[in-house]
Amino acid sequence: MEYLQQLNTQQREAATTTEGYVRVVAGAGSGKTKTLTARYLYLVEQLGISTANILCVTFTNKAAAEMKKRIRSSLPDQDLGRITTFHGFCVGLLKEDCHVVQYPSTFIVLDEEDKEAMLRTVFEDLGITSRDMTVKDAVDHIGWRKGGRGYVKNLIGAPEKLLRLSEEATTLKDKVMYRYFYEQRKCYGLDFDDLVYFVLYILQQDRDTREKWQQRLEYVMVDEFQDIDKDQYALADILSGYHKNLFVVGDPDQTIYTWRGADVKFILEFDSRHENVKTIYLNTNYRSAPQILKASNALIDKNRQRLKKELTAVRPDARKPLYFHARTGQLEADWMTANMRALHDGGRSWSSMAVLYRAHYVSRTVEESLIRNRIPYVLYSGVEFYKRKEIKDVLCYLRMIYAGDDISFLRTVNEPRRGVGRTRIAALKEYAALHRCSLYDALAASLDTRLFQRSRAKEYVRLIEKYRAIFDGMDLTDLLAGVLSESGYEEMLRSCGEEERLDNLAELKQAIYDFQRKAGEEVTLGNYLDHAALFTNMDQTARAEAVKLMTVHAAKGLEFPTVFLCGLSEGIFPGKRANTREKLEEERRLCYVAFTRAQDRLFLSDAAGSNYDGSFRYPSRFLFNAEKENVEYAVPLDPELEERAMEQIRKTETMDASAARPNEAVGKRILHPVFGEGSVIGIPRGCDGIIVQFDSIHTPRTFGSAAKITYLT
């Protein structure tokens, strides 16, 4: 039992509490994976439970693989197939029991690209253009309609019925949806949503299958429970319904996926939804230095929707988080790289450093500074700024105007679509080979032929010729704006709802402006294309000895000796769409996740300027939430700037520290004028109230902040 001896008291209690409903609130860096692994081994080695009777689900294949790796060292010959993701478990159940809904075990799992390809086929068959509906619109509508799960009855029926439903549909969105269902049904394809919905349908509708799985799974363990959605919650609840052994681990302070359906209330209200719940807190942090934890604790304590806890550090003291307010984005990036260089000169490896940010477009100035300073880096969960599709597309438009090369032509001629597909490209290649000319010249010479008359190729040639004639005398930012508008590229992204890609184009505009400002009056289009080529031609193969760049979402579950968190400005982090208290609290949780990735050093930074909507970039409220005594300022903030920042923040968020927070009421006794005495057992999702279990009523009641309630304790 060496694995138990390596645990602290709270971890050991969690690992050896095997029966009933157990909620483990595991703070960042508190040894959650070690505890889960120990509990699994304890069930198998000490209690003799078969691995076939234990289900352990988590949210990523990577997390499942890590847990299997740790357990396999102790149980080398055991089948660990039920340490998996929710979707992995659902595939396994369907392989065994999809005959219940008359599907073969050879059903196909569809990925996002498969879904979009099917929808494009549907659009073509129905004669739908992007003016009528975008693929994204269709995906969103289908996902919303599937959320009710009633669609499963239609999808498991005869394909002809789906065609009839499509013909009878009264809205275009439903017409597309039923045709998409038809395409799915023809190939017995199930997308990621279907996997969970089909399993829920089978378990709810077929008693024999439900009881078989309930009796088989004697112990159900769910990791990252704070990120669970209503369907995954229902699945875990059903599967544990016979033995009633459900063990959940999570941290409400790290709920950062509500946009994906996660609902923090499932872990907050776990004890009010199940009987005799035992809650265990893992508050000892083994990851971060005490100074980093002080700032992190102060930051997250400003949230109301949480279970109150405070992480305790065991590591030795280090420096406070260091904050720098820069005048420009370039100065912010240069400050970061200067500190990286100093750390590296002091013996730190490049691979021990990570740069985190709220959105991908923030990385542009950081990448440029890293390249200028010859610091190796690897970008995770995305591609380098100048290698992103929309950036390469637009640069190729500029290069078509400047040089007219075939590579740029093939990338731009049908982006957005102009009817210049494979057949017409093949004809152009044949013409170009025969006449020894570029593909663009071949197109210009073929515009009046029968093959191209029904295409929109003339629009493309007209655009290129117009700007070839005038680009020499144009401001580069005006040139870019004209090309984006007249090519239809910007409108294409807008109609598809591609907001992040539009943000990247806005960042490209800023990059060109910065380049012009630094280069002076002699700047030309050729100069800029050469400048951009220095970035696109860099060797970007993954290197172990390199600084890591990633979004905070991508960093979840990771840790780094040194973290640089940049872009800490209002409008960036928190983002401009965080316009409700719930959204702001999620942004704060995301910032808390970023803080707690750091082990030894944490650097915080932002830059003055304007956001793309014209709003002034004030330092982020999250910096102030961490409290001044917990943060070292590289340069003192101008008092007037700080005062204006706080005034702006107060307009969007009440920061009354003296107000009693709802989570502090949990456990207290209250008196209601009608229901009598009871105990506060939780907080509702909206935070403005409490959930009370009264002595005289079997089920709890939820009250808003205006309720006439007297606190007794």
Which residues have a catalytic role annotated?
32-33, 223-224, 254, 597
Residue 340's alpha-carbon distances to 278, 348, 351, 359, 564, in angstroms, are: 45, 9, 11, 21, 9
Q: Show contacts of 522-530: CB within 8 Å, 24+ apart.
A: 523/476, 524/472, 525/398, 525/401, 525/402, 525/471, 525/472, 525/476, 525/479, 526/402, 528/398, 528/476, 529/395, 529/398, 529/399, 529/402
Q: Using an 8 Å Cβ cutoff, are 311 and 27 in contact? A: yes
Residues 6+ apart with CB under 8 A from 426: none
Count CB neighbours of 678 within 10 A: 23
Residue 677 has phi, psi (to 5 degrees) of: -85, 150
Distance CA(539)–CA(649), nearest Å, equals 42
Which residue, chain included where needed, has tokens 């290197």? 543
317: which 2 tokens? Answer: 């003291």
Euclidean distance between CA atoms 52 and 212, whole angstroms = 13
Residue matched to tokens 């400005």: 569
Cβ atoms within 10 Å, residue 665: 18
Q: In sequence order, what are the residues at sequence separation of 6 or more whose Cβ sits closer than 8 angstroms to the Cβ of residue 237?
A: 246
Report which of 338, 364, 365 is spatially closest to residue 353, judged by C-alpha positions: 338
Both tokens of 460, joined, read: 């493309």
Q: How far is CA 170 from CA 49, 72, 118, 167, 645, in A?
A: 55, 55, 21, 9, 51
Ramachandran angles phi, psi of 247, nearest 5°: -115, 115
Distance set, CA 477 to CA 40, 182, 328, 365, 524 (Å):
59, 47, 19, 18, 11
CA distances from 537 to 123, 430, 509 (A): 38, 30, 20
**Cβ contacts of residue 142 below 8 Å, gap of 6+?**
176, 177, 180
Which residue in 311, 310, 350, 357 sits closest to 333, CA to CA?
Answer: 357
Cβ-contact 684, 709 below 8 angstroms: no
Q: Which residue is associated with the tokens 């919303």?
A: 144
Angle among Cα 489, 495, 498 to the nearest 5 degrees reads 80
Q: CA 288, CA 629: separation in Å to the nearest integer?
A: 18
Q: Which has the closest alpha carbon to 337: 326, 666, 402, 156?
A: 326
Which two structure tokens, joined as six digits, stand for 177? Answer: 């949806």
Would you state the structure tokens that stand for residue 529, as one six-digit string? 């294309």
**Alpha-carbon gap, residue 184 to 114, rounded angstroms:** 10
Q: What is the CA radius of gyration of the chain?
A: 29
Rounded CA separation 670/668 (Å): 7
d(CA 317, CA 698): 50
